[in-house]
Amino acid sequence: MREAEEFATWLSEAAERIGAHSACCIRLDHPDLPVALAENHARVEAWLADGKQGEMEYLERMLPQKSDPWTTFPHAQAVIVLTFTNGWGDPEAVHPFPIPEMGAPIGYVSSYAREIDYHARGQAMLAELHTLLGREVEAEAAVDTKPVYERMFATLGGLGIIGANNLLRVPDRTNVRVFIGTLFVNADLPNVIHDVKMPFGCEDCLACIINCPTDAIRPGKPIDAPRCISYLTIEKRSVLSRVEAEMMGDWIFGCDECSNVCPPKEKIDSRIPVDLAWLLKQPAGEIRRTIKGNATAYAGVTQLRRNAVAMLKLREDPVAKELLGWTARQSGSALIQEQLRAW
């Protein structure tokens, strides 16, 4: 194994080559890891006990695995943690949705659904690691679909701090917008831990709290998921109430309000406009092909259409009424029909 300094240099350069923003490496025998995991686990348990997870029952189901990475990844000796920006916040970054025509009914997708889905980047880092070590290594890429406390590992590795909006803040970005990926590897790698220095602390800024339109973020409190627009549009899978639809506003996938103002600056509108008529009237298979590999594929076509229906039900214009009528006649989805009948 190369010396620690050489490995740290390689890790930084390899991260840049695969398009990552920053990287760290934490050995699973790091003495601070058990304490950090226990503290994080206690916070999550309290949050779950308070019922703030909404319909995300999988979070409670995954809790034992998240709190014990040594059992969840039994062959791993270290974890490489990567952050990615993925064009988040860049209005020029590409996305797969067709440009709406003038006057079309519009809903918005969060700007993080730009560029390719970052979930595939772990395999690129694994290929780099194979080259470094000169041999194949056993590894498992884990992102937000697997039982890992990604933010805890990222903060332990010195990649940033957790902001008041529960997102990872990194010190050398003009905003909070990064994703986190992890790669658990069966290789004897050295620790690469950074000394994080933030330009200012969250206690000096309440921008994300002030700009949250639903009060899902409150000072000193964990996120109230059932009030979060991202939760309502992505994670809540049942029928939306009128109050929930009103909280969603014009969003059909995600929300940029708390990340767009971190740190405080002139707001740039990098939302992705989507033609709701296109979303509701195009064949589902065509839409699936359009969003394949995009973050919106996680929600799926039916979920996006449910959100569009709930949004249109709050509009009084003739176009909205025509679209709802067409959908009522044409849709074979039980969820869509139930949303059409709600309130």
Asked if residues 25 and 157 have their Cβ atoms less than 8 Å apart, the reply is yes
Higher pLDDT, 25 or 16: 25
**Per DSSP, which regions of 186-271 are E strands?**
251-253
Higher pLDDT, 87 or 21: 21
Catalytic positions are 144
Higher pLDDT, 205 or 254: 254
> In this predicted structure, what is the pLDDT of residue 60?
92
Give the CA radius of gyration of the chain.
21
Q: Which of 312, 14, 53 is nearest to 192 (CA)?
A: 14
Q: Report the distance separating Cα 11 and Cα 9, nearest Å.
A: 5
- What φ, ψ does residue 181 adopt, rounded to 5°? -130, 155
State yes or no: pLDDT of 2 exceeds 60: no
Size of the chain, expressed as the number of residues it contains: 343
Helix (H) or strand (E) holding 247: helix 242-248
Segments making up each domain of the chain, as ranges: 4-89+117-200
> In this predicted structure, what is the pLDDT of residue 98?
97
Q: What is the pTM of this model?
A: 0.91
Structure-block tokens of residue 237: 């899978």
State yes or no: pLDDT of 1 exceeds 80: no
| Domain over 4-89+117-200 is classified CATH 3.40.1010 | no
In the structure, what pLDDT confidence band is assigned to residue 175 with cuts at 50, 70 and 90? low
Mean pLDDT of 228-253: 98
Cβ neighbour number for residue 96 with a 10 Å cutoff: 17
> In this predicted structure, what is the pLDDT of residue 336?
98
In the structure, what pLDDT confidence band is assigned to residue 176 with cuts at 50, 70 and 90? low
Which position has the token pair 């919106």?
296
| DSSP classification of residue 119 | G
State yes or no: pLDDT of 247 exceeds 90: yes
